[in-house]
């Protein structure tokens, strides 16, 4: 894995926009001076890591190895790669401003997700059970499942909101998916 010193030689981070840009690359990173001139003419000063993944994260290649932009930004700022996952606090996977990134465990990251497309109730963790006709409020945290059945959707939503608070779900959990 590339270290933060090399990344700082290669990339410039704009904290206001969350974007990365290619720096003029020193000849020592090339086999020949001509290759250096060609690369710098084509890429220096231009935005880097602009390919979107299926999930919407920005990514790109450095020395023919793929990286996610938000992980590079973390490394540039803190001097080391993040230990766990990085969460985009506002749920926008291409918003790589440092204030929108936080290092979290997988469990914490799952407590800040947008509402899935297949959700029919409009509320995260609330659905109608077809075989009982009851409304269900449910959540999962640290491998434990919480689930209760109710006669009304309002009761299920209230239960789920209580679970969100009790289990430490992020305030953005269940928001609409960003475009």
Q: Domain 114-167 classified CATH 1.10.3470?
A: no
Full-model pTM: 0.78
3-state secondary structure labels for all residues of the chain: CCCHHHHHHHEEEECCCCEEEECCCCHHHCCCHHHHHHHHHHHCCCEECCEECCCCCEEEEECCEEEEHHHHHHHHHHCCCCCCEEEECCCCCCCCCHHHEEEECHHHHCCCCCCCCCCCCCCCCEEECCCCCCEEEEEEECCEEEEEEECCHHHHHHHHHHHHHHHCCCCCCCCCCCC
- Residue 173's pLDDT band (cuts 50, 70, 90): low
pLDDT of 124: 84
pLDDT (tens digit per residue) in 128-157: 999 999 999 999 888 889 999 999 999 998
pLDDT of 26: 95
Let me know if the fold of 4-104 is the same as that of 114-167.
no
pLDDT (tens digit per residue) in 44-99: 999 999 999 998 999 999 999 999 999 999 999 999 999 989 999 888 899 999 99
- Residue 166's pLDDT band (cuts 50, 70, 90): confident
Question: Domain spanning 4-104 has what CATH number?
Answer: 3.90.75
Domain ranges of the chain: 4-104, 114-167
């Amino acid at each position: 894995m590339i270290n933060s010193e090399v990344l700082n030689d290669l990339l410039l981070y704009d904290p206001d926009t969350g974007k990365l840009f290619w720096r003029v690359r020193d000849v020592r990173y090339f086999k020949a001076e001509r290759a250096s001139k060609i690369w710098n003419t084509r890429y220096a000063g231009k935005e880097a890591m602009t390919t979107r993944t299926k999930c919407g994260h920005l990514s790109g290649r450095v020395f023919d190895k793929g990286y996610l932009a938000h992980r590079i930004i973390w490394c540039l700022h803190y001097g080391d790669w993040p230990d766990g996952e990085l969460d985009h606090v506002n749920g926008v996977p291409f918003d790589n401003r440092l204030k929108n990134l936080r290092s979290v465990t997988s469990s914490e990251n799952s407590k800040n997700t947008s509402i899935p497309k297949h959700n029919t109730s409009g509320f995260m963790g609330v659905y109608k059970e077809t075989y009982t006709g009851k409304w269900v409020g449910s959540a999962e945290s640290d491998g434990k499942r919480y689930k209760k059945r109710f006669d009304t959707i309002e009761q299920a939503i209230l239960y789920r909101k209580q679970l969100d608070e009790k289990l430490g779900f992020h305030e953005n959990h269940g928001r609409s998916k960003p475009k």
